[in-house]
Amino acid sequence: MPYNFTATTDYFIAQRKVTTLISFAQQQGLRNNESNRNLFLKLGVVLLVTRFQVYIENVLEEFNYEIKTSNQANNLLPVHLRLTAIKFLAEGKSIQKELENTASYNTVKLQQVQSLANNLNNFCVDANIIQSDFAMDTQFPLGKQGLGEVKALFKQIDGKDIFSNVQFDINKLNEILHRRHNIIHEDANMQLTEVKLREYRDFLSKVVRHIDRYLGRHLI
């Protein structure tokens, strides 16, 4: 099945390793080796969630690249995304910061400030081509990778919750993320089974396909 982003294809290739770990767990279960069975199941959850979190960042980076190299006009972007880019640029190259040291005020400083102002204004002009420094957040906040953070990253595009009308319960994502957290920090199993791991795998597949379609609709 063709996807809109290479990151999506890469995710499903990586996800095959989870299927392999499920198979290994089943084999160990048939041999009554519960210790190895649990090990493979835990590894499956950790790998699955890690690959999903990496996918979120990779697909947003790819989306960002496609937008800034599209050679299209600003007015084809959602207004929310244009303002997101302006905010991102203004925070990274703050005019206020440039003007903090009054002792540095001179004609060179004036030119620097003018350059920053012109750059910000470029995003406001409908007919201008999208600038090469177009950018948005593509990384999770440090230490925070939950459902709220996932939603916030995608809200940069049109200000909406991209999961509001999906046909699955997106809150299940928190269950999966918590499961990984408990495995890593407490080595907890919590009745993990091959059936449950398949359920997690199939659920995240739905989420990834939805994200791919959503971002694909916003390519220009």
Indicate if 178 and 217 belong to the same structural domain: yes
> Could you list the residue range(s) of the whole structural domain that residue 39 is in?
1-69+146-220
- Residue 153 domain-assigned? yes
- Residue 138 domain-assigned? no
CA–CA dist 5, 26 (Å, integer)? 33
Burial 111-123 (b: 16+ CB within 10 A, else e): ebeeebeeebebb
- Residue 178 domain-assigned? yes
Q: Does 198 score more than 90 pLDDT?
A: yes
Q: Does 190 score more than 80 pLDDT?
A: no
Mean pLDDT of 139-168: 92
Indicate if 173 and 119 belong to the same structural domain: no
Burial 68-103 (b: 16+ CB within 10 A, else e): beeeeebeebeeebbebbbebbeeeeeeeeeeeeee
Query: Residue 38 has which token pair?
Result: 């649990």
Indicate if 186 and 218 belong to the same structural domain: yes
- In the chain, beta strands by DSSP E: none
- Residue 120 domain-assigned? yes
Which one is predicted more confidently, 71 or 143? 71
- Residue 179 domain-assigned? yes
Query: Where residue 173 falls among pLDDT bands split at 50, 70, 90?
Result: very high
pLDDT in tens, 50-61: 999 999 999 999
Indicate if 78 and 123 belong to the same structural domain: yes
Q: Does 93 score more than 90 pLDDT?
A: no
- Residue 141 domain-assigned? no
Percent of the chain with pLDDT over 90: 77
Indicate if 187 and 100 belong to the same structural domain: no
**Facing residues of 73 across strands?**
129
Give long-range contacts, CB 8 A cutoff, 24+ apart: 197-200: 197/18, 197/21, 197/22, 197/25, 197/41, 197/44, 197/45, 197/48, 198/22, 200/45, 200/48, 200/176
Lowest mean pLDDT among 94-98, 115-119, 176-180, 184-188: 184-188
Domain count within the chain: 2
pTM, two decimals, is 0.90
CA–CA dist 51, 137 (Å, integer)? 19
Indicate if 10 and 111 belong to the same structural domain: no
CA–CA dist 172, 57 (Å, integer)? 20
Mean pLDDT of 63-79: 96
Q: Does 6 score more than 90 pLDDT?
A: yes
Indicate if 48 and 11 belong to the same structural domain: yes
Indicate if 64 and 79 belong to the same structural domain: no
Query: Where residue 1 falls among pLDDT bands split at 50, 70, 90?
Result: low
- Residue 95 domain-assigned? yes
> What was the pLDDT predicted at 136?
94
Which one is predicted more confidently, 187 or 149? 149
- Residue 20 domain-assigned? yes
Indicate if 35 and 4 belong to the same structural domain: yes
Indicate if 31 and 87 belong to the same structural domain: no
> What was the pLDDT predicted at 189?
65
Query: Where residue 90 falls among pLDDT bands split at 50, 70, 90?
Result: confident
> What was the pLDDT predicted at 2?
87
Indicate if 206 and 106 belong to the same structural domain: no
Indicate if 65 and 157 belong to the same structural domain: yes
Give long-range contacts, CB 8 A cutoff, 24+ apart: 23-28: 25/194, 25/197, 26/194
Q: Does 33 score more than 70 pLDDT?
A: yes
CA–CA dist 95, 164 (Å, integer)? 37
CA–CA dist 183, 176 (Å, integer)? 11
Q: Could you give the maximum distance between any two Cα atoms of the chain, in Å? A: 79
